[in-house]
């Protein structure tokens, strides 16, 4: 409830951690705040389905990866190296042959990244 009150008072950034404020753009934060707002709707029928939430999060992530140059095309070793060392525990592989994507996640990557970059 506190989140919704803060958003309605036009102060949504008051609740966001300073580190997140530094890492994300204002546009990304606004998109995430909107998604959280939709998920907190009282009536279940007005809330987005989990698939819709996943699609929105994947779209936001894809946009961020493209902006930061972490979009990976199969066979691109240089980009693959950059992505492997990035703070993102997920990596996305774009297959130009069928325009599909696949996700790769490992707890080992997440652990190693958090070990080397503590908050």
pLDDT number for residue 89:
42
Same domain, 75 and 38: no
C-alpha of 72 from chain center: 16
Residue 91: helix, strand or coil by DSSP? strand
pLDDT at 13 (0 to 100): 85
pLDDT by position in tens, the chain (length 119): 688 888 888 887 888 888 888 888 889 888 988 898 899 888 999 999 999 999 999 988 888 888 777 655 544 444 445 545 444 444 445 555 544 554 555 666 666 667 676 66
Q: Are residues 6 and 64 in the same domain?
A: yes
What was the pLDDT predicted at 51?
Answer: 92
- Are 63 and 78 part of one and the same domain? no
| 99 and 56 belong to one structural domain | no
Of the three residues 35, 50, 68, the one that is the final residue of a domain is: 68
Residues 54 and 75 in one domain: no
Nearest to 80 by CA among 88, 67, 91: 91
Domains held by the chain: number:
2
Of 25, 17, 28, 38, whose CA–CA distance to 60 is shortest? 28
pLDDT value at position 50? 92
Domain that holds residue 107: 70-119
68, 83, 98 - which closes a domain: 68
Same domain flag for 101 and 51:
no
**Are 3 and 61 in the same domain?**
yes
Residues 6, 63 within the same domain: yes
Residues 101 and 45 in one domain: no
Do 72 and 83 form a contact (C-beta atoms < 8 A)? yes
**83 burial type by CB count under 10 A (0-12 exposed, 13-18 middle, 19+ buried):** buried
On whether both 37 and 22 belong to a single domain, the answer is yes
């Amino acid at each position: 409830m506190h989140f919704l009150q803060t958003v309605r008072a036009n102060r949504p950034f008051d609740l966001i951690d300073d580190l997140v404020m530094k890492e994300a753009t204002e546009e990304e934060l606004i998109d995430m705040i909107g998604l959280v707002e939709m998920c907190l709707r009282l009536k279940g029928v007005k809330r987005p389905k989990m698939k819709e939430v996943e699609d929105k999060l994947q779209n936001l992530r894809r946009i961020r990866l493209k902006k930061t140059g972490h979009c990976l095309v199969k066979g691109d070793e240089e980009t693959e190296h950059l992505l492997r060392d990035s703070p993102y525990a997920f990596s996305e592989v774009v297959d130009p042959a069928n325009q599909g994507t696949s996700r790769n996640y490992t707890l080992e990557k997440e652990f190693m990244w958090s070990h080397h970059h503590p908050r």
